[in-house]
Amino acid sequence: QVNIKSVHNLTGTVLHTNLGRALWSPAAQQAALDAMQGNVALEYDLAAGERSHRDNYISDLLQQLTGAEAACVVNNNAAAVLLMLATFAQGKEVIISRGELIEIGGAFRIPDIMAQAGCELVEVGTTNRTHLKDYRNAINENTAFLMKVHSSNYQICGFTHSVDEQELAELGKEFSIPVITDLGSGALIDLKQFNLPEEPTVQEKLQQGLDLISFSGDKLLGGPQAGIIVGKKALIQQLQAHPLKRVLRCDKVTLAGLEATLRLYLQPEKITEKLTALHLLTQPVAQLQAQAEQLKVRLENRLNTDYLVAIEPSEAQVGSGSQPLARIPSVAVTIAPATEKMPTKTTALFARLLALPQPVIGRIERDKIWLDLRSLANLERLLNTLEAL
């Protein structure tokens, strides 16, 4: 038994950073297992019988999926941003809107990453409003990049203005300065078709003329932890040649899992069935309701009359800073103390759920435990685990 225990995620947050973000699809798990168990043609071109580059497979697939000229893969998106800045902007200036100086959590702050990469942050505009002329006025011969950062985990609303990627890309072309963006989650398909909150896609950002785009592998993409940079071939080649790339590169297991994940996008009509993260996010409420009924029966069976078990509508979230305000319709089993409000009974049961052989993690809200079914990977296993309650 390891201490990084397998847990049941009933928090209602599907891509939960503290619980390891996206679950790997069965296809990705198999590819990773094969890579772990034996040798793989990681940096070997089987057609030519000679050495090749470990990012080639991913680069070819992303070219096919997004139309990007090339791609580069590193450990995570934070590393991707660091690599872009260190490669092109060391000792130079990067222009960014004051409304996009984000902190993601875990000490990922854009100003700090800029400092680490040895570049100078040039803030333009104000917190709520930034105009094209603000960028234009800040450009000088020492400007390395114009940069956009997707405000994944917060929203600025009201009297606001920001410059969209297309306008910024045109300004960049006028001065021959690359325009880059940290897209955060980086969806590869339109999520609106599944009634999920809208998230910009990598393809649409490329069409808007951006030179480099970075995004995570384990957020909405639904694969292993990785940072992916797509864009202009000449720029990607420079990223590949930087010494930091060697420091930040991915191992064979991650690359195998990522390749298998991306391959699922070649068959978009099957994606919600095959890609676990999207499968969870798109489960119909009626299906969650049926699961909730089974869970309720099992809990009533295990708990004494001190507790009241019920099924209630709930609101789930994507997680990982994607779409912080959006809620996805869901269903939860709630557990409340039977006699008036007794918060200690609730916290005591919450602790018991966490102490199970495979811990059950829900959330406490309004003096009740909420077990949200939207984020649950395996009902059968959960029902088995609860035998020990």
Ligand X SMILES: *Cc1c(COP(=O)(O)O)cnc(C)c1O
| From candidates 78, 82, 84, 187, binder to ligand X by CB under 6 A | 78
CA 149 from centroid of its chain's CA atoms: 15
Type and span of the H or E element at 280: helix 276-282
For residue 192, give both structure tokens: 């609106």
Interface region with ligand X, contact rule CB under 6 A, candidates 88-96, 155-163, 178-186, 246-254: 178-186
| Nearer of residues 10 and 213 to ligand X, judged by Cβ | 213
Total Cβ atoms within 10 A of residue 329: 13
Q: How far is the CB of 50 from ligand X (least distance, A)?
A: 33
Which residue's CB atom is positioned nearest to ligand X? 184
CA 167 from centroid of its chain's CA atoms: 26
Measuring CA to CA, how many Å separate 348 from each of 73, 145, 177, 351, 376?
A: 45, 53, 59, 5, 22
| From candidates 108, 194, 279, 383, binder to ligand X by CB under 6 A | 108
Measuring CA to CA, how many Å separate 61 from each of 66, 114, 326, 344?
A: 8, 30, 31, 53
Q: How far is the CB of 230 from ligand X (least distance, A)?
A: 15
Three-state SS across 61-73?
HHHHHHCCCEEEE
Q: Please say whether the beta carbons of 143 and 171 come within 8 A.
A: no
Determine, following the binding rule CB under 6 A, whether residue 104 of this chain makes contact with ligand X. yes
Determine, following the binding rule CB under 6 A, whether residue 321 of this chain makes contact with ligand X. yes
The residue count for binding ligand X (CB under 6 A) is: 14
Positions in 202-231 near ligand X (CB under 6 A): 216, 227
Binding string, residues 48-77; x marks residues near ligand X by CB under 6 A: ----------------------------xx
Interface region with ligand X, contact rule CB under 6 A, candidates 148-156, 249-257, 278-286, 327-335: 148-156
Q: Given the rule CB under 6 A, which residues bind ligand X? A: 76-78, 104, 108, 149-150, 152, 182, 184-185, 216, 227, 321
